Chains A and B, each alone.
Chain A
Amino acid sequence: MAHEVADQERILASPWGGGQSPFAVGWPKLMMWLFLVSDTLTFAGLLAGYGVMRISLGRWPVQSGIFNIWLVGGMTFILICSSATMAVAVAAAKSGDRKRVTPFLLATVFGGLLFLAGQYYEWSHFIHEGARLFSNPWGVPQFSATFFITTGFHGAHVTGGVIYLLITALRWARGRIQPESIEIAGLYWHFVDLVWVFIFTLLYLI
Protein backbone atom coordinates (compact mmCIF):
# COMPACT_ATOMS: atom_id res chain seq x y z
CA MET A 1 0.00 0.00 0.00
CA ALA A 2 1.42 3.31 -1.08
CA HIS A 3 -0.11 5.49 1.62
CA GLU A 4 -0.10 4.53 5.27
CA VAL A 5 -2.43 6.40 7.63
CA ALA A 6 0.48 8.38 9.02
CA ASP A 7 1.45 9.43 5.47
CA GLN A 8 -2.08 10.61 4.74
CA GLU A 9 -2.19 12.65 7.91
CA ARG A 10 1.16 14.22 7.09
CA ILE A 11 -0.03 15.13 3.57
CA LEU A 12 -3.35 16.54 4.83
CA ALA A 13 -1.53 18.71 7.34
CA SER A 14 0.65 20.33 4.63
CA PRO A 15 -0.56 23.65 3.11
CA TRP A 16 -1.63 22.19 -0.26
CA GLY A 17 -2.47 18.67 0.98
CA GLY A 18 -6.25 19.23 0.95
CA GLY A 19 -6.81 19.06 4.69
CA GLN A 20 -6.95 22.83 5.28
CA SER A 21 -7.22 26.10 3.37
CA PRO A 22 -3.80 26.86 1.86
CA PHE A 23 -4.66 30.56 2.25
CA ALA A 24 -5.35 30.37 6.00
CA VAL A 25 -8.52 32.51 5.72
CA GLY A 26 -12.19 31.61 6.02
CA TRP A 27 -14.05 30.85 2.82
CA PRO A 28 -16.17 34.07 2.81
CA LYS A 29 -13.02 36.19 2.86
CA LEU A 30 -11.35 34.06 0.19
CA MET A 31 -14.45 34.39 -2.03
CA MET A 32 -14.39 38.18 -1.60
CA TRP A 33 -10.71 38.29 -2.57
CA LEU A 34 -11.36 36.18 -5.68
CA PHE A 35 -14.32 38.39 -6.60
CA LEU A 36 -12.11 41.47 -6.21
CA VAL A 37 -9.44 39.96 -8.49
CA SER A 38 -12.07 39.31 -11.16
CA ASP A 39 -13.59 42.78 -10.68
CA THR A 40 -10.10 44.27 -11.10
CA LEU A 41 -9.96 42.62 -14.52
CA THR A 42 -13.35 44.14 -15.41
CA PHE A 43 -12.11 47.64 -14.60
CA ALA A 44 -8.79 46.89 -16.31
CA GLY A 45 -10.81 46.04 -19.44
CA LEU A 46 -12.61 49.41 -19.31
CA LEU A 47 -9.37 51.34 -18.74
CA ALA A 48 -7.49 49.36 -21.41
CA GLY A 49 -10.31 50.14 -23.87
CA TYR A 50 -9.88 53.81 -23.01
CA GLY A 51 -6.12 53.52 -23.58
CA VAL A 52 -6.56 51.82 -26.96
CA MET A 53 -9.03 54.50 -28.11
CA ARG A 54 -6.99 57.43 -26.91
CA ILE A 55 -3.73 56.12 -28.40
CA SER A 56 -5.25 55.04 -31.73
CA LEU A 57 -7.07 58.39 -32.14
CA GLY A 58 -3.87 60.31 -31.36
CA ARG A 59 -5.90 63.29 -30.10
CA TRP A 60 -7.93 63.83 -26.95
CA PRO A 61 -9.53 66.89 -25.34
CA VAL A 62 -7.44 68.64 -22.65
CA GLN A 63 -9.21 67.35 -19.53
CA SER A 64 -7.95 70.11 -17.21
CA GLY A 65 -10.00 72.58 -19.28
CA ILE A 66 -13.17 70.49 -18.94
CA PHE A 67 -13.10 68.88 -15.49
CA ASN A 68 -12.76 70.83 -12.27
CA ILE A 69 -9.62 69.29 -10.76
CA TRP A 70 -10.51 70.65 -7.29
CA LEU A 71 -13.91 68.95 -7.34
CA VAL A 72 -12.37 65.63 -8.43
CA GLY A 73 -9.51 66.11 -5.95
CA GLY A 74 -12.11 66.72 -3.22
CA MET A 75 -13.98 63.54 -4.20
CA THR A 76 -10.68 61.61 -4.03
CA PHE A 77 -10.01 63.12 -0.60
CA ILE A 78 -13.49 62.05 0.63
CA LEU A 79 -13.04 58.50 -0.66
CA ILE A 80 -9.60 58.14 1.00
CA CYS A 81 -11.07 59.43 4.29
CA SER A 82 -13.97 56.96 4.08
CA SER A 83 -11.47 54.16 3.44
CA ALA A 84 -9.58 55.20 6.59
CA THR A 85 -12.76 55.22 8.72
CA MET A 86 -13.61 51.79 7.31
CA ALA A 87 -10.17 50.48 8.31
CA VAL A 88 -10.76 51.77 11.86
CA ALA A 89 -14.20 50.09 11.96
CA VAL A 90 -12.63 46.76 10.91
CA ALA A 91 -9.82 47.06 13.48
CA ALA A 92 -12.33 47.99 16.20
CA ALA A 93 -14.55 44.99 15.37
CA LYS A 94 -11.59 42.59 15.41
CA SER A 95 -10.04 43.93 18.62
CA GLY A 96 -13.34 43.83 20.54
CA ASP A 97 -13.74 47.64 20.71
CA ARG A 98 -17.44 47.13 19.90
CA LYS A 99 -18.84 50.59 20.61
CA ARG A 100 -16.56 52.19 18.01
CA VAL A 101 -17.67 49.97 15.09
CA THR A 102 -21.13 51.37 14.23
CA PRO A 103 -20.17 55.10 14.30
CA PHE A 104 -17.17 54.48 12.03
CA LEU A 105 -19.25 52.33 9.65
CA LEU A 106 -21.82 55.14 9.45
CA ALA A 107 -19.02 57.68 8.86
CA THR A 108 -17.87 55.50 5.96
CA VAL A 109 -21.42 55.43 4.57
CA PHE A 110 -21.56 59.22 4.90
CA GLY A 111 -18.28 59.51 2.95
CA GLY A 112 -19.69 57.29 0.22
CA LEU A 113 -22.84 59.44 -0.01
CA LEU A 114 -20.74 62.64 -0.20
CA PHE A 115 -18.71 61.07 -3.03
CA LEU A 116 -21.93 60.18 -4.89
CA ALA A 117 -23.20 63.73 -4.40
CA GLY A 118 -19.96 65.03 -5.95
CA GLN A 119 -20.35 62.63 -8.85
CA TYR A 120 -23.99 63.70 -9.36
CA TYR A 121 -22.88 67.34 -9.50
CA GLU A 122 -20.06 66.51 -11.91
CA TRP A 123 -22.28 64.45 -14.24
CA SER A 124 -25.09 67.04 -14.32
CA HIS A 125 -22.55 69.80 -15.03
CA PHE A 126 -20.97 67.69 -17.80
CA ILE A 127 -24.36 66.89 -19.36
CA HIS A 128 -25.42 70.54 -19.08
CA GLU A 129 -22.33 71.50 -21.11
CA GLY A 130 -23.57 69.25 -23.92
CA ALA A 131 -21.87 65.91 -23.21
CA ARG A 132 -23.87 62.86 -24.28
CA LEU A 133 -22.95 59.17 -24.29
CA PHE A 134 -21.95 59.19 -27.98
CA SER A 135 -21.40 62.88 -28.68
CA ASN A 136 -19.91 65.96 -27.03
CA PRO A 137 -18.82 69.51 -27.95
CA TRP A 138 -15.07 68.72 -27.70
CA GLY A 139 -14.75 66.89 -31.01
CA VAL A 140 -13.90 63.37 -29.79
CA PRO A 141 -17.12 61.35 -29.26
CA GLN A 142 -15.17 58.56 -27.49
CA PHE A 143 -14.18 61.05 -24.78
CA SER A 144 -17.62 61.34 -23.17
CA ALA A 145 -18.41 57.65 -23.81
CA THR A 146 -15.29 56.64 -21.84
CA PHE A 147 -16.10 59.10 -19.09
CA PHE A 148 -19.73 58.04 -18.61
CA ILE A 149 -19.12 54.29 -18.84
CA THR A 150 -16.04 54.14 -16.59
CA THR A 151 -17.11 56.59 -13.88
CA GLY A 152 -20.68 55.23 -14.11
CA PHE A 153 -19.44 51.71 -13.51
CA HIS A 154 -17.39 52.91 -10.55
CA GLY A 155 -20.31 54.98 -9.22
CA ALA A 156 -22.50 51.88 -9.36
CA HIS A 157 -19.88 50.10 -7.25
CA VAL A 158 -19.94 52.96 -4.72
CA THR A 159 -23.76 52.85 -4.62
CA GLY A 160 -23.69 49.10 -4.08
CA GLY A 161 -21.04 49.57 -1.40
CA VAL A 162 -23.11 52.16 0.48
CA ILE A 163 -26.10 49.78 0.55
CA TYR A 164 -23.85 46.85 1.55
CA LEU A 165 -22.29 48.90 4.38
CA LEU A 166 -25.68 50.12 5.63
CA ILE A 167 -26.94 46.53 5.82
CA THR A 168 -23.68 45.47 7.52
CA ALA A 169 -23.95 48.30 10.09
CA LEU A 170 -27.57 47.40 10.82
CA ARG A 171 -26.78 43.71 11.26
CA TRP A 172 -23.76 44.51 13.46
CA ALA A 173 -25.86 46.80 15.67
CA ARG A 174 -28.35 43.94 16.08
CA GLY A 175 -25.57 41.48 16.92
CA ARG A 176 -26.24 39.24 13.91
CA ILE A 177 -22.74 39.09 12.38
CA GLN A 178 -19.14 38.28 13.30
CA PRO A 179 -16.21 40.73 13.01
CA GLU A 180 -15.11 38.79 9.89
CA SER A 181 -18.19 40.11 8.03
CA ILE A 182 -17.11 43.68 8.80
CA GLU A 183 -13.64 42.85 7.50
CA ILE A 184 -15.08 41.45 4.24
CA ALA A 185 -17.27 44.52 3.72
CA GLY A 186 -14.11 46.54 4.37
CA LEU A 187 -12.21 44.67 1.65
CA TYR A 188 -14.94 45.60 -0.85
CA TRP A 189 -14.93 49.26 0.23
CA HIS A 190 -11.12 49.56 0.02
CA PHE A 191 -11.30 48.02 -3.45
CA VAL A 192 -13.72 50.76 -4.56
CA ASP A 193 -11.15 53.29 -3.32
CA LEU A 194 -8.34 51.37 -5.07
CA VAL A 195 -10.16 51.50 -8.42
CA TRP A 196 -10.76 55.22 -7.99
CA VAL A 197 -6.98 55.74 -7.61
CA PHE A 198 -6.52 54.48 -11.18
CA ILE A 199 -9.61 56.20 -12.63
CA PHE A 200 -8.53 59.50 -11.05
CA THR A 201 -5.01 59.13 -12.44
CA LEU A 202 -5.78 57.83 -15.93
CA LEU A 203 -9.07 59.58 -16.77
CA TYR A 204 -8.61 62.97 -15.09
CA LEU A 205 -4.90 63.66 -14.67
CA ILE A 206 -3.01 62.11 -17.62
Chain B
Amino acid sequence: MAETHAGGYKVYLTTWIWLLVITMLEIGIVLVRVPKTLLVISLIILALMKAALIMAYFMHLRYERLNLIYAVVTPMFFLAIVLFSMLGPDALHVFRSR
Protein backbone atom coordinates (compact mmCIF):
# COMPACT_ATOMS: atom_id res chain seq x y z
CA MET B 1 0.00 0.00 0.00
CA ALA B 2 2.63 2.52 1.11
CA GLU B 3 4.87 1.81 -1.90
CA THR B 4 2.12 2.44 -4.43
CA HIS B 5 1.37 5.86 -2.92
CA ALA B 6 4.92 6.94 -2.09
CA GLY B 7 5.56 8.10 -5.68
CA GLY B 8 2.58 10.46 -5.49
CA TYR B 9 4.07 12.37 -2.55
CA LYS B 10 7.54 12.91 -4.04
CA VAL B 11 6.59 16.17 -5.78
CA TYR B 12 5.58 17.66 -2.38
CA LEU B 13 8.87 16.61 -0.82
CA THR B 14 10.78 18.30 -3.68
CA THR B 15 8.66 21.47 -3.42
CA TRP B 16 9.12 21.54 0.36
CA ILE B 17 12.92 21.26 0.05
CA TRP B 18 13.05 24.03 -2.58
CA LEU B 19 10.92 26.33 -0.42
CA LEU B 20 13.29 25.79 2.51
CA VAL B 21 16.36 26.37 0.31
CA ILE B 22 14.94 29.65 -1.02
CA THR B 23 14.01 30.78 2.53
CA MET B 24 17.57 30.12 3.68
CA LEU B 25 18.88 32.05 0.66
CA GLU B 26 16.64 35.00 1.64
CA ILE B 27 17.94 35.03 5.22
CA GLY B 28 21.51 34.61 3.90
CA ILE B 29 21.19 37.63 1.61
CA VAL B 30 19.97 39.77 4.53
CA LEU B 31 22.79 38.58 6.81
CA VAL B 32 25.65 39.29 4.34
CA ARG B 33 24.38 42.91 3.88
CA VAL B 34 24.42 43.45 0.11
CA PRO B 35 23.62 46.93 -1.36
CA LYS B 36 19.99 47.98 -0.77
CA THR B 37 18.86 47.98 -4.43
CA LEU B 38 20.30 44.51 -5.06
CA LEU B 39 18.76 43.30 -1.77
CA VAL B 40 15.26 44.51 -2.68
CA ILE B 41 15.37 43.12 -6.24
CA SER B 42 16.74 39.71 -5.25
CA LEU B 43 14.33 39.34 -2.30
CA ILE B 44 11.31 40.15 -4.49
CA ILE B 45 12.45 37.65 -7.16
CA LEU B 46 12.96 34.95 -4.50
CA ALA B 47 9.53 35.70 -2.96
CA LEU B 48 7.88 35.41 -6.38
CA MET B 49 9.68 32.08 -6.95
CA LYS B 50 8.31 30.76 -3.64
CA ALA B 51 4.82 32.01 -4.51
CA ALA B 52 4.99 30.29 -7.92
CA LEU B 53 6.13 27.00 -6.32
CA ILE B 54 3.30 27.07 -3.75
CA MET B 55 0.65 27.92 -6.34
CA ALA B 56 1.84 25.47 -8.99
CA TYR B 57 2.46 22.38 -6.85
CA PHE B 58 0.88 22.75 -3.39
CA MET B 59 -2.28 24.38 -4.77
CA HIS B 60 -2.23 22.15 -7.91
CA LEU B 61 -2.74 25.14 -10.19
CA ARG B 62 -0.35 23.62 -12.72
CA TYR B 63 -2.71 20.69 -13.22
CA GLU B 64 -5.90 22.77 -13.59
CA ARG B 65 -7.52 23.82 -16.85
CA LEU B 66 -5.98 26.90 -18.48
CA ASN B 67 -9.22 28.88 -17.96
CA LEU B 68 -8.87 28.64 -14.16
CA ILE B 69 -5.16 29.54 -14.31
CA TYR B 70 -5.99 32.67 -16.34
CA ALA B 71 -8.81 33.63 -13.95
CA VAL B 72 -6.44 33.45 -10.96
CA VAL B 73 -3.21 34.76 -12.44
CA THR B 74 -4.45 37.66 -14.64
CA PRO B 75 -5.63 39.81 -11.67
CA MET B 76 -2.17 39.33 -10.11
CA PHE B 77 -0.50 40.72 -13.23
CA PHE B 78 -2.77 43.78 -13.16
CA LEU B 79 -2.05 44.14 -9.45
CA ALA B 80 1.71 44.02 -10.08
CA ILE B 81 1.45 46.60 -12.90
CA VAL B 82 -0.64 49.03 -10.81
CA LEU B 83 1.53 48.64 -7.71
CA PHE B 84 4.73 49.13 -9.66
CA SER B 85 3.46 52.15 -11.60
CA MET B 86 2.19 53.79 -8.36
CA LEU B 87 5.06 52.92 -6.02
CA GLY B 88 7.99 52.35 -8.40
CA PRO B 89 8.84 55.95 -9.40
CA ASP B 90 8.68 57.23 -5.80
CA ALA B 91 10.73 54.28 -4.53
CA LEU B 92 13.45 54.92 -7.13
CA HIS B 93 13.38 58.63 -6.26
CA VAL B 94 13.91 57.86 -2.55
CA PHE B 95 16.83 55.55 -3.40
CA ARG B 96 18.52 58.18 -5.59
CA SER B 97 18.11 61.03 -3.11
CA ARG B 98 20.00 59.11 -0.41
Contacts and interface: CB of A to CB of B under 8 A. Distances in A.
Nearest to B17: A84
Interface string B50-83: 1100110111100011011001100110010001
A48 B83 contact: yes
A88 B2 CA distance: 13
Categorize the interface residue count of chain A. Answer: 35 or more
Interface residues of B, number: 46
Contacts, number: 122
A197 B67 contact: no
Interface of B: 1, 5, 8-9, 12-13, 15-16, 19-20, 23, 26-27, 29-31, 39-40, 43-44, 46-47, 50-51, 54-55, 57-60, 64-65, 67-68, 71-72, 75-76, 79, 83, 86-87, 90-91, 94, 97
Question: 3 tightest CB-CB pairs across the interface, nearest first?
Answer: A84-B16, A201-B47, A23-B68
Interface of A: 15, 22-25, 30, 33-34, 36-37, 40-41, 44, 48, 51-52, 55-56, 58, 64, 69, 73, 76-77, 80-81, 83-84, 86-88, 91-92, 95, 97, 100, 183, 186-187, 190-191, 193-194, 197-198, 200-202, 205-206
